């Protein structure tokens, strides 16, 4: 991981520059060491697998239902089509959910949030704190029932304008939100738009 | 200040037309059931009522609409039933556009649009103010923006230095280059409805293929001519001027359009050359800012900095806007070509299979296996796709190049980077390739035309991502430095605290 070394060098330079310029003391009090907020590489809460598997089963049910209806109209002598579609879709969806859980990781680095996930397409995103516009935590009804939460980080960009970390515990989401907020404030964001 | 009084009848007619059409449908239905002279009378009354209502509404709109240029903000109070008071800080305004169609030009009124980066749509639309008022607003907004930069310039209303003017020859080239067969699909719809009946009526069976070919060629020619004519009227009389803090352009034969692009809001610039333009040695240049809502107003058209110019000239102008060093690209590794070959092979196989199925399942008999000849096209196609890709990392810029049919060179100042994304699909992973997306707040990225280094080596992509993330931090430090030492560089808001608190007038929902 030579890359993490690279980014930390960048951050050191940043702080050097800032201190040489004589930063506002009130800013210093806010948290002088960005290192205090960083995390190791973290994974999602294992329970999110059940959420995703559940979602896959629902999608499979819908698909199976549609195929059963179509099959019933076109080929009534083959009633196994609907259930077969359901089983295959469930298997694929479950496999995808489990693999997706295994692929997910995120890391709060010194000057950027780093996300790595994806089964079919592996996507790695770097969100520099200077670009963070606002940070939400959100909890849908099912997420609430399962004791999970999501964190959404917004930038002014377009493609990666909202970056979501799903399936983390509410306490962790709040903690992350606090960390990212502190880091974003400390970086004195320039939105560059 | 209020809108131009002429906007009342204009808007009434404009908005009233729909109302009248709606009422006319009801009216005709109603009149039909009553019948005779009474029916016509009822219809007439309904139409008059519609126009009257529309006029009344527009009058109320006019009465209740007010805009003000305060020292710090552009204020608009509007709304008949639900009132809205909107204040837009000058420093946040991205573009000021003035547009006038033929009728509006006859009435000497114009629409003014102010764009900021926030929100999903145009933040302020003044429909409509007098032409001189519109220019006054454009002038005042840029003056206030300058005012923030504490340089009380004596702008003696000169039109600035002309950077580029479209001449007749270039207009013709623009027409040729803009020939677009995408219109074909629009033209093909009526043709496919009318076509078959005409076809069966007039064509003897033997001549059917000839008629079909002639019809298709006709459609293609019509599509090309129409698209060329559209482009030529749109960019007729194009002039780009440098006005110190901003660029300003004017264009259009039927619909006059004038817009401003603040220099310090430029997100990315893009050099586009399609196949024809490359052959003729021409290129077009566009500047993206964060202002426009993606695609809603034909995105690309409204921000074109240079519709067409000799390639060298276009590059020179691009260099004046952003000071990049050169355009020598690093191509993706050669194995990327295999990927394209495989992709085209799959497409061809599907086409052949479909043709085969059609021949087998219907009574049509055609030599479907001719399609297999397409195999010879795969290697050159894959090679061309690969050849036109590339990326380049400079100290302050990252530049990407993509596309054979329409090649786009996107120049991104590192300071403008918002997020960095590398993606590897399963197919890319097989060959250790990855795509790096450099996201900015520019508009093109909304329609999926982000700066992308496609199919570069996966390790190179990781390195590039890390390097760009570091360079961004440095660029920001340098930016602050410059701002502190050489005075504010007219970013509108010079206070970092203000910068940190959100940017938008409306909700930032995208």
A99, A109, A159: best to mutate for the B interface, most B CBs within 10 A:
A159
DSSP state of A108: E
User: So what's the ipTM on this one?
Assistant: 0.78
Burial class (CB in 10 A: 0-12, 13-18, 19+), B105: middle
- Mutation target to probe the A interface, by most A beta carbons within 10 A, among B473, B484, B492 is B473
Domain residue ranges of chain A, discontinuous segments joined by +: 50-99, 106-193
- A10 CB neighbours in chain B (<8 A) are 469-470, 473-474
Cβ contacts of A155 on chain B, cutoff 8 Å: 418-419, 439
Q: Residue B76 carries which DSSP code?
A: E
Q: Is A74 in CB contact (< 8 Å) with chain B?
A: no
CA distance B410 to A183: 31
Number of domains in chain B: 3
Chain B stretch 263-282, residues whose beta carbon is closer than 8 A to a beta carbon of chain A: 265, 267
Evaluate whether residue B421 is within a structural domain. no
Comparing alpha-carbon positions, the chain A residue that sits nearest to B464 is A3
CA distances from B497 to A136, B117, B335 (A): 20, 18, 49
Interface test with A, best of B425, B443, B469 (most A CBs within 10 A): B469
Is B290 within 8 Å of A161 when comparing Cβ atoms?
Answer: no
Which residues in chain B touch residue A158, judged by CB atoms under 8 angstroms apart?
294, 418, 439-443, 445-446, 450, 510
Distance of CA B420 to the CA centre of its chain: 23
Query: What's the confidence (pLDDT) of residue A20?
Result: 38
Read off the pTM: 0.79
Taking only the tens of pLDDT, chain A with its 193 residues reads 333 333 333 333 333 333 333 333 343 344 456 678 888 899 999 999 999 999 999 999 999 999 999 988 888 888 888 999 999 999 999 999 999 999 999 999 988 999 999 999 999 999 999 888 889 999 989 999 999 999 999 888 765 568 899 999 999 999 999 999 999 888 876 777 7
Contact assignment for B421 to A189 by CB distance below 8 Å: no
Mean pLDDT by 10 residues, chain B (510 residues): 90 74 68 69 76 87 93 92 91 88 92 80 86 91 72 54 91 89 69 62 63 83 88 90 88 88 87 92 88 46 76 93 92 94 94 90 81 91 95 94 92 92 93 93 65 93 94 90 66 37 34
What local confidence, expressed as pLDDT, does residue B27 receive? 65
Q: Of B354, B380, B406, which marks where a domain is finished?
A: B380
In angstroms, the Cα distances linking B387 to A171, B342, B377 are: 51, 16, 15
Indicate whether B470 belongs to any domain. Answer: no
Cross-chain residue pair A193–B474, CB shorter than 8 Å: no
**In B389-432, where does DSSP find H-type helix?**
426-430
Give yes or no for A91 touching B (CB within 8 A). Answer: no
Domain boundary residue among B315, B348, B380? B380
Mutate which: A17, A23, A156, vs B, most B CBs within 10 A: A156
Task: Mutation target for A interface from B470, B475, B489: give the one with most A CBs within 10 A.
Answer: B470
- B61-110 pLDDT, tens digit per residue, is 999 999 999 988 999 999 999 999 999 998 888 888 899 999 999 999 99
B353 occurs within a structural domain:
yes
CATH for the stretch A106-193: 2.30.29.30
- Residue B243 in any domain: the answer is no
- Domain presence at residue B82: no
Angle between helices B208-235 and B168-177 (to 10 degrees): 140
Q: A127 and B419: CB-CB below 8 Å?
A: yes
Domain boundary among B42, B63, B84: B63
Q: Is B499 on the interface with A (CB under 8 A)?
A: yes
pLDDT score, position B509: 35
| Among A residues 107-136, those touching chain B with beta carbons less than 8 Å apart | 111-112, 118, 120-128, 130-131, 133-134
Residues 79-108 of B with CB under 8 A from A: 94
Interface check for A156 against chain B (CB to CB < 8 A): the answer is yes
Virtual CA dihedral for B416, B422, B425, B428, nearest 10 degrees? 100
Q: Each residue of B387-426: pLDDT tens digit?
A: 999 999 999 999 999 999 989 999 999 999 999 999 999 9
B497 burial via Cβ count (<10 Å: 0-12, 13-18, 19+): exposed
Residues in chain B within 8 Å Cβ distance of A161: 418, 510
pLDDT in tens, B42-58: 777 777 787 788 888 89
| B503 has a chain A CB within 8 A of its CB | yes
B402 DSSP β-pair partners: B408
Domain that holds residue B39: 7-63
pLDDT in tens, A168-187: 999 999 999 999 999 988 88
pLDDT tens profile A41-57: 999 999 999 999 999 99
* Dihedral of the alpha carbons of A135, A141, A145, A150, in degrees to the nearest 10: -20
* d(C-alpha B295, C-alpha A17), whole Å: 40
Strand partners, A108: A113
Q: Is B225 part of any domain?
A: yes
Within 8 A of B418 by CB-CB distance, chain A residues are: 131, 155-158, 160-161, 192
Of A121, A159, A192, the CB nearest to B424: A121
Contacts of A14 in chain B (CB under 8 A): 473-474, 476-477
Radius of gyration of chain B (CA): 28
Domain membership of residue B385 (yes or no) is: no
């Amino acid at each position: 991981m030579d890359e993490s070394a690279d980014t930390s060098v960048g951050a050191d330079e940043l702080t050097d520059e800032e201190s040489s310029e004589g930063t506002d003391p009130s800013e210093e009090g806010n948290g002088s060491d960005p290192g205090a907020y960083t995390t190791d590489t973290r994974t999602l809460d294992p329970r999110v697998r059940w959420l995703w598997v559940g979602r896959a089963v629902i999608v499979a049910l819908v698909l199976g239902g549609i195929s059963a209806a179509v099959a019933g109209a076109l080929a009534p002598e083959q009633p196994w089509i609907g259930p077969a579609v359901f089983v295959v879709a469930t298997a694929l969806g479950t496999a995808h959910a489990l693999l997706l859980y295994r692929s997910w990781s995120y890391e709060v680095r010194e000057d950027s949030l780093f996300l790595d996930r994806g089964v079919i397409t592996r996507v790695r995103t770097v969100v520099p704190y200077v670009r963070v516009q606002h940070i939400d935590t959100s909890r849908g009804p099912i997420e609430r029932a399962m004791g999970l939460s999501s964190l959404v980080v917004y930038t002014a960009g377009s493609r990666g304008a909202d970056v979501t970390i799903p399936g983390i515990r509410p306490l962790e989401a709040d903690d992350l939100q606090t960390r990212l907020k502190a880091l974003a404030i400390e970086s004195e964001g320039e939105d560059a738009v | 200040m209020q809108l131009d009084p002429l906007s009342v009848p204009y808007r009434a007619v404009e908005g009233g037309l729909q109302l009248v059409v709606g009422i006319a449908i009801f009216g005709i239905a109603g009149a039909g059931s009553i019948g005779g002279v009474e029916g016509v009378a009822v219809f007439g009354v309904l139409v008059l009522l519609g126009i009257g209502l529309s006029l009344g509404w527009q009058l109320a709109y006019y009465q209740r609409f007010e805009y003000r240029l305060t020292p710090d903000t552009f204020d608009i109070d509007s709304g008949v039933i639900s009132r809205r008071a909107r204040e837009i800080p000058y420093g946040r305004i991205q573009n000021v556009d003035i547009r006038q169609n033929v009728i509006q030009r006859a009435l000497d009124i114009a629409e003014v649009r102010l764009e900021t980066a926030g929100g999903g749509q145009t933040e302020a639309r003044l429909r409509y103010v007098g032409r001189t008022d519109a220019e006054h607003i454009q002038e005042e907004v840029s003056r206030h923006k300058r005012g923030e930069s504490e340089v009380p310039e004596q702008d003696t209303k000169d039109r600035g230095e002309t950077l580029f003017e479209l001449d007749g020859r270039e207009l013709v080239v623009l027409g040729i280059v803009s020939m677009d067969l995408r219109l074909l699909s629009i033209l093909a719809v009526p043709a496919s409805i009318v076509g078959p009946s005409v076809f069966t009526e007039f064509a003897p069976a033997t001549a059917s293929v000839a008629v079909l070919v002639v019809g298709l060629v006709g459609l293609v020619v019509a599509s090309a001519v129409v698209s060329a004519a559209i482009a030529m009227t749109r960019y007729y009389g194009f002039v780009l001027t440098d006005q110190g803090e901003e660029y300003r352009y004017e264009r259009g034969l039927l619909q006059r359009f004038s817009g401003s692009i603040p220099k310090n809001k430029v997100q990315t610039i893009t050099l586009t050359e399609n196949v024809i333009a490359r052959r003729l040695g021409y290129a077009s240049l566009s500047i993206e800012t964060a202002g426009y809502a993606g695609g809603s107003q034909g995105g690309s058209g409204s921000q074109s900095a240079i519709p067409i110019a000799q390639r060298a000239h276009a590059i020179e102008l691009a260099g004046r806007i952003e000071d990049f060093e050169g355009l020598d690209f690093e191509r993706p590794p050669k194995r990327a070509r295999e990927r394209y070959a495989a992709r085209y092979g799959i497409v061809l196989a599907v086409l052949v299979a479909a043709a085969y199925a059609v021949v087998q399942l219907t009574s049509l008999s055609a030599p479907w296996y001719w399609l297999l000849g397409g195999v010879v096209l795969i290697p050159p196609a894959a090679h061309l796709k690969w050849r036109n890709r590339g990326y380049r990392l400079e100290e302050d810029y990252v530049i990407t190049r993509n596309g054979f049919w329409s090649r786009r060179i996107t120049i991104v100042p590192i300071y403008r980077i918002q997020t960095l994304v590398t993606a590897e699909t399963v197919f890319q992973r097989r060959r250790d390739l990855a795509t790096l997306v450099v996201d900015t707040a520019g508009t093109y990225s909304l329609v999926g035309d982000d700066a992308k280094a496609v199919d570069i080596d996966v390790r190179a992509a990781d390195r590039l991502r890390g390097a760009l993330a570091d360079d961004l931090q440095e660029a920001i430090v340098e930016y602050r430095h410059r701002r502190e030492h050489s005075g504010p560089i007219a970013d509108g808001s010079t206070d970092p605290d203000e910068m940190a608190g959100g940017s938008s007038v409306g909700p930032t929902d995208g």
